Amino acid sequence: MAPTITPLPQAGAEITGVDLATLSDDDFTAVRTAFTDHGLLFIRDQSLTETDHIAFAERWGDININRFFTAHDDHPQIAMVVKEPEQTGNIGEVWHTDHSYDVEPALGSILVARELPSSGGDTHFASMYAAYEGLDDEMKEFVRTNRAIHSARHAFGAAAFYRDGDQDDFEGRYSNSDVADAMDDVVHPMVIEHPLSGRPALYVNPTFTIGIEGMEREDARPILKQLYRHAMQPRFVQVLEWRPGTVAFWDNRAVWHSAQNDYHGERRIMHRITIEGCALSPAA
């Protein structure tokens, strides 16, 4: 059966009629084209083992073993994205794009639902193509001619663990705060030429972007906030309602994501594999 690819209204496409564990080369090509075109895929009705998940990820490139997330006990390639019933904070609630703090940010992440709450726990995705397109001409010119500074330190570094009273809640879920402290800030264009599609995409995010190159932080902050308010408008946001067997594969250079934290008292377990990316070039 050939894959059925259905574009979604705000961002991405849903794919049915494939088994990612046994994908033929032709079907893989169809999925890869959909990934390039849409930057976000929801693939339904899968039953991937951990080994299948790793094998599918390896078809896209090298796996980036996340230095901050707790790894799966038997498969270090898999980062555990877990919230237990007694925990209040979740991983990834604030809008972000994974690994923008790296010199070569990750291509994307493949998230497999392992245990879902009875309701809630959706993931929201915002299209950075549409967000860029929706800017006015003056802001387009500004972002096309500037670069932004990104960091992991405030999110994963030692200081993050003293930031507020909730941090104990993340014990065992994040590690390597000393690595985050040692990482240099990195600079990326505020609008990139997407490495796969060639389209311009806004590339700043509320979690890891900390400033604009050559500007005082207090001058940069309102500009970044204005961009964030713009990009998180519902017209750019696609909601994924997880079902057992759903796999999400997002391109970190095309979308932001935010995990909803609305299922207190229940467990949610997701397995995430992140694929290495490349250095990012400014939009032409």
Number of residues that bind ligand SIN (CB under 6 A): 10
272 is catalytic: yes
Listing DSSP states for 93-114 in one string gives: -S-B-TTTTSSS--SEEEEEEE
Per CB under 6 A, 173 contacts ligand SIN: no
Q: Choose, by CB under 6 A, the member of 72, 153, 257, 271 that binds ligand SIN.
A: 257
What is d(CA 134, CA 139) in angstroms, rounded to the nearest whole number? 10
Q: Residues 62-91 vs ligand SIN: string with x where CB under 6 A?
A: -------------------x---------x
Residue of 38, 53, 72, 96 with catalytic role: 96
**Least distance between ligand SIN and beta carbon 36 (Å):** 21
Is 38 an interacting residue with respect to ligand SIN (CB under 6 A)? no
Query: Residue 143's closest CA among 207, 208, 218, 230?
Result: 230
Residue 92 or 211 with smaller CB distance to ligand SIN = 92
Respond yes or no: is residue 38 known to be catalytic: no
96 belongs to the catalytic site = yes
Q: Which residues, numbered 88-117, are part of the site for ligand SIN (CB under 6 A)? A: 91-92, 109, 111
CA angle, 142 then 232 then 266, to 5°: 145
In whole angstroms, how close is the CB of 105 to ligand SIN at the nearest point? 14
17 vs 87: CA distance, rounded Å: 36
Find the binder of ligand SIN among 78, 106, 128, 270 (CB under 6 A): 270
Please identify which residue in 186, 190, 259, 280 interacts with ligand SIN, judged by CB under 6 A: 259
The residue among 210 and 270 lying less far from ligand SIN, judged by its C-beta, is 270
**How far, in whole angstroms, is CA 80 from its chain's centroid?**
14
Q: Which residue is nearest to ligand SIN (CB)?
A: 92
Residue 4 neighbours by CB distance under 10 Å: 13
Spot the catalytic one: 27, 38, 72, 98: 98
Strands (E), the chain: 4-7, 13-16, 40-43, 63-64, 79-83, 108-115, 123-127, 147-150, 186-189, 191-193, 200-202, 209-212, 237-240, 247-251, 255-259, 268-275
Instruction: Rank residues 99 and 147 by Cβ distance to ligand SIN and give the closer one.
Output: 99
State the sign of the Cα–Cα–Cα–Cα dihedral 259, 261, 262, 266. positive
Whether residue 221 lies in the annotated active site: no
* Residue numbers at the binding site for ligand SIN (CB under 6 A): 81, 91-92, 109, 111, 123, 257, 259, 270, 272
